Amino acid sequence: MNLEFTPEEQAFRDEVRAFIEANYPKHLGDVGLREDLSREDFLAWHKILGEKGWSVPAWPEQYGGTGWTPTQRYIWSEENARVNAVMPLPFGVSMVGPVIYTFGSEEQKAKHLPGIRSGDVWWCQGYSEPGAGSDLASLKTTAVRDGDHYVINGQKTWTTLAQYADWGFFLCRTDTDAAKPQEGISFILVDMKTPGVEVKPIKLLDGGYEVNETWLTDVRVPVENLVGEENKGWTYAKFLLAHERSGIAGVARSKRGVEKLREIAANEMVDGEPLIEDFEFARKVSQLEIDLAALEITELRTLAGEQAGKGPGPESSILKIKGTEIQQRLTELTLEAVGSYAAPYYHSIANDDGSNEYPVGPDYSAHAAETYFNMRKTSIYGGSNEIQRNIITKMILGL
Ligand SMILES: Cc1cc2nc3c(=O)[nH]c(=O)nc-3n(C[C@H](O)[C@H](O)[C@H](O)COP(=O)(O)OP(=O)(O)OC[C@H]3O[C@@H](n4cnc5c(N)ncnc54)[C@H](O)[C@@H]3O)c2cc1C
């Protein structure tokens, strides 16, 4: 594996850096908490990229992809991480989009792919249920055929940002008598404005609102919203999950996070010395950097495989585990660095219009506690890390 970037790749980096500097919406600045963004904020960069033709780089060119190599896509994600860009959300671009262009009908492609590319249509993911997370195949939401409609009943949960969603993709049971639970599941597209769809907020540990319960009561959906074949939804669901996991390592963003942590630790004083010069703290930051460098090499190796024509396989489970452990460690060390300034929980005060309370600590401490709490999610979503270990045990180690 060659780790050097070629002159063409360097030139590509210059091109995308210049484009980002000229076009990234200034008002988004260096966002602290993503859950504070409005729908328009989330979509602002997506829409600019849609116009440029860069919103769905990984898609086949016939559907609007850029034709970039995996290395170019890696450079693209690094350059966006440099400015902490609010990227197009994965639900349309990396999840349902690839399912639709791979398994969907021509009508579905024509109807749904343009809105995903342009950022005009927001999608949410309706997989998990209160009794079906890791054991997704035990899901109970049903879709019963009634003439040229399905009638859907059930409850989904943890539906991320469904409060903004125009459309959702839902796994529903269409055959309750199938021999195995994986059989008899279908992948159905639902217009979130259909009567009977109800989205209810779940408040998280960090006080934010980014996940929901989604209730479906006698929701009538035209049969043409079924993707692929009836009862074959499990195949499409698994295809989607492999795509979901491969983007989850977040190496470029974590590299930037380490830089920021170093800045904070250089500013925080302990016994008259900058914290970063404290031997024990510096050791922890170095260990994190070593782990991150190892993850980066693993990701580049996976990219080299992709460049040679291999799709995302079980290696994406390794990237997911290590990537999320590093993201969580970063938030732990940031919390440690800002110390007691992380304790006053003044996010709500700071964001409350009209408040004249002074922040208690430096700016960088403002969201340290919330970010720490929020990032606990990363080892759970996209398939928990324990489940990823099971996949590695079976698929890679062959045990
Ligand atoms: C912030 C957030 C956003 C999410 N967004 C979405 C979304 O948009 N759409 C959606 O459909 N879902 C979403 N999810 C749901 C997510 O996919 C599930 O939470 C996840 O799959 C785990 O399922 P569960 O919560 O039911 O936990 P369980 O499956 O009940 O697991 C509980 C614990 O047991 C462990 N465990 C379970 N089975 C095994 C096993 N066989 N071996 C070893 N350990 C095991 C798990 O690792 C976990 O630690 C989101 C979750 C979170 C936290």
DSSP string covering 156-216: EE--TTGGG-SEEEEEEES-TT-SSTTTTEEEEEEETTSTTEEEEEE--TTS---EEEEEE
145 - beta bridge partners? 150
> Rounded to the nearest whole angstrom, what is the distance from the C-alpha of residue 165 to the centroid of ligand 1?
21
Kindly state whether residues 282 and 382 are assigned to the same domain: yes
**What CATH number corresponds to the domain at position 75?**
1.10.540.10
Does ligand 1 have an atom closer than 6 angstroms to the CB of 211? Answer: yes
Are both 370 and 258 inside the same structural domain? yes
Instruction: Domain of residue 58: give its range.
Output: 7-88
Told to judge if 244 belongs to the known catalytic residues of this protein, a careful annotator would answer: yes
Average pLDDT over residues 33-42: 84
Are 215 and 328 within one domain?
A: no
- Asked if residue 94 is part of any domain, the answer here is no
In a domain, 242, yes or no: no
Rounded Cα–Cα distance for residues 107 and 21 (Å): 38
* 107 belongs to a structural domain: no
160 lines ligand 1 (CB under 6 A): yes
- CA of residue 379 to ligand 1 center, whole Å: 9
Query: What does the pLDDT look like over 248-259, one tens digit per residue?
Result: 788 888 999 999
Q: Please name the residues in contact with 169: beta carbons below 8 A apart, sequence gap of 6 or more.
A: 91, 95, 96, 99, 123, 124, 125, 126, 187, 188, 189, 190, 227
* 251 and 381 both lie in a single domain: yes
Percent of the chain residues topping a pLDDT of 90: 73
Query: CATH code at 269?
Result: 1.20.140.10
Can you give the pLDDT at residue 343? 81
What letter would DSSP give residue 93? I
- Out of 36, 66, 88, a domain closes at 88
Of all protein residues, the one whose alpha carbon is nearest to atom 24 of ligand 1 is 133
Q: Look at residue 115 and tell me if it is in a domain.
A: no
Query: 65 with 144, same domain?
Result: no
Measured from the Cα of 377, ligand 1's closest atom is 53
Is 70 exceeded by the pLDDT of residue 32?
A: no
Which pLDDT score is estimated for 166?
Answer: 98
CATH code of 152's domain: 2.40.110.10
- Average pLDDT of the residues of the chain: 91
Predicted confidence at residue 44, as pLDDT, reads 97
Among 13-22, 41-50, 62-71, the range scoring the smallest mean pLDDT is: 62-71
Q: Verify whether ligand 1 is closer than 6 Å to residue 256 (CB atom).
A: no
240 domain residue, yes or no: no
129 C-alpha to ligand 1 centroid (Å): 10
- Assess whether the C-beta atom of 224 lies below 6 angstroms from ligand 1: no
- Model-wide pTM > 0.85: yes
Instruction: Indicate whether residue 225 lines ligand 1 (CB < 6 A).
Output: no
Asked which of 233, 262, 294 is the last residue of a domain, the reply is: 233
Same domain for 195 and 256 = no
Co-location of 318 and 371 in the same domain: yes
Weakest mean pLDDT among 13-22, 110-119, 243-252: 243-252
Residue 78, CB-side half-sphere exposure with 13 Å CA sphere: 15
- Tell me: do 292 and 391 sit in the same domain: yes
CA–CA separation, 328 and 324 (whole Å): 6
Is 37 in the same domain as 156?
Answer: no
Region of poorest pLDDT, from 82-86, 302-306, 363-367: 302-306
Atom of ligand 1 nearest to the CA of 91: 8
- Report the number of distinct structural domains present in the chain: 3
Query: Per the residue annotation, which of 79, 129, 244, 306 is the catalytic one?
Result: 244
Greatest mean pLDDT among 74-78, 237-241, 300-304 = 74-78
Same domain, 283 and 370: yes
Residue 108 has pLDDT above 70, yes or no: yes
113 located within any domain: no
Q: Can you tell me which atom of ligand 1 is nearest the CA of 124?
A: 8
* Residue 130 domain-assigned (yes or no): yes
Top-confidence residue, 348 or 377: 377
Residues 327 and 203 placed together within one structural domain of the fold: no
The pair of structure tokens assigned to 368 is: 């340290």
- Domain boundary pick from 62, 88, 114: 88
Q: Kindly state the greatest CA–CA separation across the chain.
A: 76
Residues 143 and 214 in one domain: yes
Q: Would the CB of 127 count as within 6 Å of ligand 1?
A: yes
In a domain, 103, yes or no: no
Share of the chain above pLDDT 70, in %: 93
User: For 222, which DSSP code?
Assistant: E
